[in-house]
Homo-oligomer: A and B are copies of this chain.
Amino acid sequence: MVRDGRIRDGAGAACAVRVQRGRPELALTELSRRAGLPLTTTHRIVGELAGWGALERADDGRYRVGLRLWEVGALAPRGLGLRESAMPFLEDLYAVTKQNVQLAVLDGTEVVYLERLSGRGAVNVITRVGGRLPLHATGVGLVLLAHAGPDLQERVLAGPLRRYTPKTLCAPDELRRTLAEVRRTGVAVSDGQIELIALSVAAPVRGARGEVVAALSVVVPAETSDARAYVPVVRAAARGISRVLGAPDSR
């Protein structure tokens, strides 16, 4: 895959091309530069990928991620599969609260957001479907970490813990106490730990064998005084999804 420190093939190149914010189309030269591959090589690889549909050409000749790739991604059980089961409950939760409703799973040492329903009036937060954030600073992250294996917990607590706001919990012992609290109460409250304007209430979603497979949260404005009032509805929605996942769904 990687040889003498240089990236040599398609998969590696894909790795190297980091997420594009803003205009999501890239020219060939740009791709070549970012991937660190010769222009000719990039041209060939990109051509093959486009032939298969993994990339598409925009009207101006630039390349963008293709619909085929989206389609294949849609087959991921932990992606759209989970989302599919959870959706009715997310809709209900959104209908009741009219706030941001988020569904996320654990991957490596981060959370990946699977879904986000955000009403017009809700707080505008940085999370994005398909986006990643660290475990220690988000409501869903704390829930997932609290129920993860001790090895992962230690790895996260040992690693560098980025401080997003003055309220971000970064001290390992403080985090340990919080995690114990999350396990005890079954919910996590992250108040301004990622963005000062937002507060999230999160609860675990469990799979068929009772293991935590995802986390659900509602994000409300930080100044909400009765944030605890959201705990029952979030918990109920999470339970609802867990029940659906538990039933092996005859189809």
Interface residues of A (CB under 8 A from B): 1, 11, 14-15, 19-20, 22, 24-25, 48-49, 51-54, 56, 64-81, 84, 87-88, 91, 94-95, 105, 107, 112, 117-120, 129-130, 132, 251
Contacts and interface: CB of A to CB of B under 8 A. Distances in A.
A67 B120 contact: no
A76 B71 CA distance: 10
Contacts of A88: 118-120
Give the interface centre of A49, A79, A107, A129 by most chain B CB atoms within 10 Å. A79
A22 B129 CA distance: 26
Nearest to A73: B73
Contacts of A14: 72
Given A15-B52, A119-B91, A73 B69 contact: yes
Given A87-B117, A91-B94, A56 B70 contact: no
B69 A72 contact: yes
B130 A75 contact: yes
A69 to B, nearest CB: 5
Give the interface centre of A1, A19, A77 by most chain B CB atoms within 10 Å. A77
B80 A56 contact: no
A86 B166 CA distance: 35
